[in-house]
Each structure stands twice: as C-alpha cells, then as structure tokens.
Amino acid sequence: MMKLWNTAYDAGTLYNFNAGYIANYEPALADSYNDSTVGIYLLNSWPAEFKAEALAVTQYWAQEIFSPTGNYYEIIHGDILVNYEYYNYSAAASGVTYKYDFPTVILHELGHLVGLKHVSKSLAPSIMLSTLGTDEVKRQVYTIDKELINTIYEDTALTAEDPVLGKFSKSEDAPQKRGNVYRGVIELMPSGKCLHYLNGKLVEEH
C-alpha cells in the first residue's frame, strides 16, 4: 500500500521505512503510540478515546517549522489504528459480504497520513472518496489522487490539519526554527465521514 503512494508522488518518496510486525501491541492510551515506529495496528481492544463506530483512525504529530521562505508543518510521527473490536475485515481478492476490505481501508488512511482529504463523487474514481461500503474493493491510487498528492507537496503554507510527511526546507532556507508540536487525529466513519481533531479539539468534519 505504501509503495502505491510512493509511485504516485513524482518528486520523491513519501513512505521511506521498512514495514514490520509487532504481536499483541495494544496500549490502552492512543497517545502511547508516539514512538519510533510508524505502524498500522489492528486493535482488538479499541481505545476509549475514539468513537466506537470509527472504522479506523489516522493520528499524527506535526511540528511547526519557521523558514525564511514560508512556514509549514512537518510530520514527525504517524500511525494508523484499525478497529478490529467492532468491525470485520477481509483481504480476499474480491469483496466479502458484510466485511470491509482491509487493503482499501489502509490505502485510504495512508492517503490521509500524507495530507489528503476526501474528494467529491464528481472526481471519481478515487481512493479518497468519502464513502466506503462493505464488500467494496478499491486497491489502487487513481489519477485524481496522483494529481492531488503532487499538488499539496508543492504548497509551502500548510496548516497543522494538513501537514506534509517529511517535507523539509531547502538548504537555502536555513536557519530554521522549530515551534510547537501538534497531535492530529482523523476518525473514519462507516458513512465515509471523517472527523478531524487537533490537540483533542474537533476542528473539521467532511
């Protein structure tokens, strides 16, 4: 899934780390995931901090960077948490009735982690559409997704709600100053609605 997003981005690599497996790692507090591992976690015990009806949560920590050519936010950590306590998932090649397609959910959440929001149905097909049904399979990054990811990575005035993963200023931007660190949480609902929180405060629904 990460390779698909890397291929979509023309100017570099979005996800540049090795995937690993950690068994039985389920901290009760979601904030405990802020560690050295960028992970995708399948949780049989869903954290009480999140809504029980959320399919998955993407959370990130972003630090404000002050640069002579424009301030921006750099993601310093991120994780995807999947709600295995209240939902059934499948990774079968075709859709399974009453089960959400696991690769589709992860590909969608990886898009959120690098800064993408939902797109309207008028721009379909897209992995970032705001609706997802059980047995629906979408395991590719579409043309509109590629256009959007390449566009936002050219932006130098991003907000903490829309940070860019690994966006570093050019050498001529030095010296830089680092500001506050913000924690962002994006809850994905079965209806397709996403709830965006910044430092625990709801800042957007779409």
The tens digit of pLDDT for each residue in 6-46 reads 889 888 788 876 666 666 777 777 778 888 778 888 899 99
Q: Using CA atoms, how far apart are residues 10 and 3, in angstroms rounded to an integer?
A: 13
- Which pTM does this prediction carry? 0.80
Q: What are phi and psi of 61, to 5 degrees?
A: -120, 125
Residues in the chain: 206
Q: Using CA atoms, how far apart are residues 26 and 11, in angstroms rounded to an integer?
A: 35
Spatial CA neighbour of 164 closest among 200, 112, 202: 112
pLDDT digits (tens, 9 = 90+) for 142-183: 999 999 999 887 754 444 555 545 443 333 445 578 899 999
Distances (CA, A) of 24 to 44, 73, 163, 188: 9, 32, 30, 23
Virtual torsion, Cα 95, 101, 104, 106, nearest 10 deg: -160
